[in-house]
Amino acid sequence: MLRAPLAIRIFCFEKRQWGHFCLRGGGCACHGPGPVCLSACRGGDPYRLYNLDVFQYELYNPMALYGSVPVLLAHSPHRDLGIFWLNAAETWVDISSNTAGKTLFGKMLDYLQGSGETPQTDVRWMSESGIIDVFLLLGPSVFDVFRQYASLTGTQALPPLFSLGYHQSRWNYRDEADVLEVNQGFDDHNLPCDFIWLDIEHADGKRYFTWDPSRFPQPRTMLEHLASKRRKLVAIVDPHIKVDSSYRVHEELQNLGLYVKTRDGSDYEGWCWPGAASYPDFTNPKMRAWWADMFRFENYEGSSSNLYVWNDMNEPSVFNGPEVTMLKDAQHYGGWEHRDLHNIYGFYVHMATADGLVLRSGGVERPFVLSRAFFAGSQRFGAVWTGDNTAEWDHLKISIPMCLSLGLVGLSFCGADVGGFFKNPEPELLVRWYQMGAYQPFFRAHAHLDTGRREPWLLPTQYQDMIRDALGQRYSLLPFWYTLFYQAHREGVPVMRALWVHYPQDVTTFSIDDEFLLGDALLVHPVTDSEAHGVQVYLPGQGEVWYDVHSYQKYHGPQTLYLPVTLSSIPVFQRGGTIVPRWMRVRRSSDCMKDDPITLFVALSPQGTAQGELFLDDGHTFNYQTGHEFLLRRFSFSGNTLVSSSADSKGHFETPVWIERVVIIGAGKPATVVLQTKGSPESRLSFQHDPETSVLILRKPGVNVASDWSIHLR
């Protein structure tokens, strides 16, 4: 009997490519492809990878969505494997198992009867056209698979710190006065915010790189006002160009021959937001260079350094095209048909836009670009999101496995529209969405043109307070988020992780998709049911402990708990053995907080140990790469001693940030607490101990975060 974990067959039929992969061994779970998570290998309809503008997409449906990543991960308690089918044409993935449909009793009966059948999962890939490039990611651990995949497609770009804050968006803020009123509303109601967004109505007749002269006559003045409040603006720039002889962008692209062509060589023309539109051929390097150059301040009139970009409709969306997209026989640079390249079109739009934001700063500033369409490697250019969701509880639920699945294939900077894009959420749903969004990597509220306004202060006071608390949780954790993104950038690991990633031998975790980990430190269980009074939470880890981040109550793993909940919060736990840095003063925006002091939350393991990291730089430039201007600090607790040391000696960065407080969870009461720093005598620290929660608070160590020091509990 063949016992190899993987067998492969690949065939070519004219232009069509077909691959058959057999995964052998019991206890297998498959994850991917695309943005919807597969909780386990099973029979059913094949999955279609074909980027489409899907109106009000159905849930738990294997059909096409906005982005495609042709990667599948197979996980068992003994090994992890990955398959990367590098093909940008329309692709179908069929997954079946010879144990599909069998009950647990049936599987046990097979075992008792000595069935000789080896559990097997078959994965069949079929692409309409293109080149066969298949990469086998052999693990053996899932972290090995992450590194192997990142070596092929790149790691998550390190986002600017401010892009990890809260984003306020809708289609559309009416005019400059509306934007400034929303901006003031956040200050008046003591709500932090980093970005306000503008959708398609801001442009002059949907002519991108322009501003509506009646509603946005002075965009630079508006941007300067936002900058004075240390906030940013995002404007949408879509890749369909209005056919208009008086529109400079259209005239230049037409004259340069940079549009996608029809079979007869004329410019391809479709219908989108501006009406008749042509589509730039982003597969052409000259087109990408031209597009990037448009973001220079002298070319994008009214723009400034605090304006960032959103690429929507880049599947591409063609309202009068087949399946609302481009004809498959449209012609691209190099003689390729659109059918061969379809799924990579949005990838190239994202790339060119990110390049443009880097170019406008002379290569100094890191870009922020959100893209709706994506492909393998899109993580190198910025953020993605789950598309036009709906204000329904099921859409709140599904955003967890969707973001987990995207993280597994490299796209860590992902999120879902808070509140739902379509329809109007009731206050309870909106509050629950903010509470979950605060713990997802990309945190943006967005809404359709026909929905009611839903800025947080428009809700009754009780709901405002709950949303304010959720925003506060997000901003408090920004040092932790930023460190996680640096780890993703450096190592290719996801920021938001399924439980099985860290507990690979715990089969209970394989099918859990209603809770998740942030790094290895925090476990989050959002509340995704209406009028919920309690939730079932699984805490993994044999011999591990978990601490409720609000009450500090300790729980032992592995176990399933029923926890009562109210509308005011969701269950969040810190794993014993970790150290999480926080900012405890929530201000107007992240830029107002970046020099604030740090509080370390040290959650002790049963062995009395803990460790964690903190990454700091200027938060917005490439100087961390070009000049090694960064700090990566390691904090370790063992033997009743907390030590701060450098985790990367290449880094150097001067910062006023200091350690304001240390909170040690699970600690006994010491007689004295002593601080030691290099070249200084020992000094005693004041402390407070709560015997009921076993929490020890050390006040004002007063040490710079860049220095080496140790704190001893005696």
99-114 pLDDT, tens digit each: 665 554 455 445 455 5
Residue 173 and residue 125 share a domain: no
- Within this chain, do residues 485 and 371 fall inside the same structural domain, yes or no? yes
Q: Which two tokens stand for residue 179?
A: 């934007």
Q: Is residue 83 part of a domain?
A: yes
pLDDT at 97: 81
One domain, residues 308 and 435 = yes
Yes or no: say if 102 and 42 are a contact pair by the CB < 8 Å rule. no
Q: Do 404 and 310 reside in the same domain of the chain?
A: yes
What distance separates the 2 farthest-apart alpha carbons in the chain? 85
Q: Cα(146)–Cα(517) distance, rounded to whole angstroms?
A: 16
Q: Which residues are catalytic?
A: 312, 388
Cα–Cα distance for residue pair 488/157, rounded to 1 Å: 8
The 10 Å Cβ neighbour count of residue 135 is: 17
Q: In the listed set 430, 459, 491, which residue is the last one of a domain according to the structure?
A: 491
- The answer to the question of residue 404 being in a domain is yes
Which residue has tokens 């715990």? Answer: 506
- With respect to residue 388, please indicate whether it lies within any of the assigned structural domains: yes
Same domain membership, residue 82 and residue 10: yes
440 and 305 within one domain:
yes
Q: Write the CATH number for 145.
A: 2.60.40.1760
pLDDT of residue 7: 67
Whether residue 688 is contained in a domain is answered as: no
Are 11 and 68 contained in the same domain?
yes
pLDDT of the residue at 40: 40
What burial letters (b/e) apply to 657-686, b meaning 16+ CB within 10 Å?
bbbbbbbbbbbeebeebebbbeeeeeeebe
Q: List b or e across 360-391, with b for residues whose CB sees 16 or more CB atoms inside 10 angstroms.
A: bbeeebbbbbbbbbbbbbbbbbbbbbbbbbbb
Amino acid at site 580: V
- Distance linking the first and last C-alpha atoms of the chain: 62
Clarify whether residues 174 and 121 are in a common domain. Answer: no
Q: What is the pLDDT of residue 113?
A: 54
Task: Count Cβ atoms below 10 Å from residue 116 Cβ, excluding itself.
Answer: 7
Where is 150: in which H helix or E strand?
A: helix 142-153
Residue 401 tokens, joined: 């496995």
Domain with 217, as residue range(s), is 169-237+287-316+355-491
For residue 502, which amino acid is it?
H
- Residue 601 to residue 579: CA distance in whole angstroms: 6
191 part of a folded domain: yes
Q: What is the pLDDT of residue 4?
A: 44
pLDDT of residue 99: 67
For residues 300 and 391, membership in a common domain is answered with: yes
Q: Which strands, in side-by-side order, build the sheet including 572-575?
A: 496-497, 516-518, 522-524, 572-575, 545-548, 554-556
Give residues with Cβ within 8 angstroms of 601, minimum separation 6.
Answer: 549, 574, 579, 580, 581, 582, 663, 665
Could you give the C-alpha distances from 539 to 359, 408, 452, 508, in angstroms and in order? 46, 21, 39, 10
For the beta sheet containing 683-684, the strands, ordered from the edge strand earlier in sequence to the opposite edge, are 683-684, 673-677, 709-713, 641-646, 631-638, 610-616, 578-582, 598-603, 658-665, 695-704, 687-690
Q: DSSP character for 624?
A: H
Do 132 and 227 sit in the same domain of this protein?
no
Looking at residue 3, its pLDDT comes to 34
Flag residues of the chain having pLDDT under 70: 1-8, 10-16, 24-28, 34-43, 99-117
- State both tokens at 187: 């200050």
Q: How many CB atoms lie within 10 A of CB 396?
A: 27
Residue 547 makes CB contacts below 8 A (sequence gap 6+) with 553, 554, 555, 573, 574, 576, 603, 665, 666
Cβ-based neighbours of 559, under 8 Å, separated by 6 or more:
538, 539
Same domain? For 311 and 378 the reply is yes
Both 81 and 227 in a single domain? no
Identify whether 558 is part of a domain. Answer: no
Q: Starting from the edge strand earliest in sequence, which strands make up the sheet with 134-137, in order?
A: 29-31, 71-75, 80-85, 134-137
pLDDT at 30: 78
Domains: count for the chain: 2
Asked, for residue 631, whether it belongs to a domain, the answer is no
- Last residue of a domain, which of 491, 512, 532? 491
* pLDDT given at position 377: 99
Do the beta carbons of residue 159 and residue 368 sit within 8 Å? yes
pLDDT, position 60: 87
CA 330 to chain centre: 33
Q: Please choose, from the candidates 79, 85, 65, the residue with its C-alpha nearest in 3D space to the C-alpha of residue 29.
A: 79
- Residue given tokens 């409720």 in the structure block: 548
How far is the C-alpha of 625 from the C-alpha of 158, rounded, in Å? 10
Domain boundary among 456, 491, 526: 491
Q: Is residue 255 part of a domain?
A: no
Amino acid at 149: Y
Which CATH number do you get for residue 482?
Answer: 3.20.20.80
Residue 449's Cβ-count burial label (10 Å; 0-12, 13-18, 19+) is: exposed
Taking the C-alpha atoms of residue 291 and residue 369, their distance in angstroms, rounded to an integer, is 14
